[in-house]
Amino acid sequence: MTTPILNAIYKRRSIREYTDEPVKIEALREIVKAGTWAPSGLNNQPWRFVLVTDTAIRLQLAEQTRYSHIVKAAPALIVVFLDIGEMYNEVKDHQAAGACIQNMLLAAEELDLGAVWLGEILNRKDQVKQIVGISDEHDLMAIIAIGHPIHHNQSSKRKEINKLIIKEILEAP
């Protein structure tokens, strides 16, 4: 089956290599807008974003992760936080952040950009917050690295769905 949305879901890959071409701020804002149209519990929209294209800040952020080569190569970063004061349920707010980030990855793909969700950098949450000047009222969820893809050769694998569907409890035909 193919539909535009299914196609985007299946086509999206994590992109970790980028050209030097800058990413337009309008594109970054569109990606964030797509993120904000993700569902959230009670529609509380707890996500907050810092957009970074400044080279000095990107290089400082790159020092905080073992994936520094990706952060250095990416001309743009979206740093994703939860506003702790807006949260009402830890699990549900984290789930909402995941939905928001996935929306942003799909939006980047749709805009012919490449993006990857960086989670390892969460080991250095405090340093990231300090570098981008964000208070302790916010909790770091991820950094999304974004740029124009050098190529589209990325491949990925998925487990077979019949090994993942544990049970089907179906109405008798």
Nearest approach, Cβ of residue 152 and ligand FMN (Å): 11
Terminal Cα-to-Cα distance of the chain (whole angstroms): 23
54 lies in the site for ligand FMN, by CB under 6 A: no
Give the Cα separation of 51 and 83 in Å (integer): 16
For ligand FMN, the closer of residues 21 and 120 by Cβ is 120
Nearest approach, Cβ of residue 168 and ligand FMN (Å): 25
Nearest to 63 by CA among 123, 20, 113: 123
- Interior CA angle at 109 toward 108 and 111, to 5°? 65
13 lies in the site for ligand FMN, by CB under 6 A: yes
| Pairing of the two strands 47-52 and 76-83 | antiparallel
135: its two tokens:
């208070």
For ligand FMN, the closer of residues 28 and 145 by Cβ is 145
14 lies in the site for ligand FMN, by CB under 6 A: yes
Select the span of 1-9, 11-19, 29-37, 45-53 touching ligand FMN (CB under 6 A). 11-19
Side-chain-side CA neighbours of residue 170 (13 Å)? 6
For ligand FMN, the closer of residues 27 and 117 by Cβ is 117
43 lies in the site for ligand FMN, by CB under 6 A: no
To the nearest 10 degrees (0 to 180), the angle between helices 4-11 and 90-110 is 100
Select the span of 13-21, 31-39, 77-85, 131-139 touching ligand FMN (CB under 6 A). 13-21
Give the Cα separation of 102 and 94 in Å (integer): 12
Site string for ligand FMN, 110-129 (x = CB under 6 A): ------xxxxx---------
Q: Which residues bind ligand FMN (CB under 6 A)?
A: 13-14, 16, 67, 70, 116-120, 154, 156
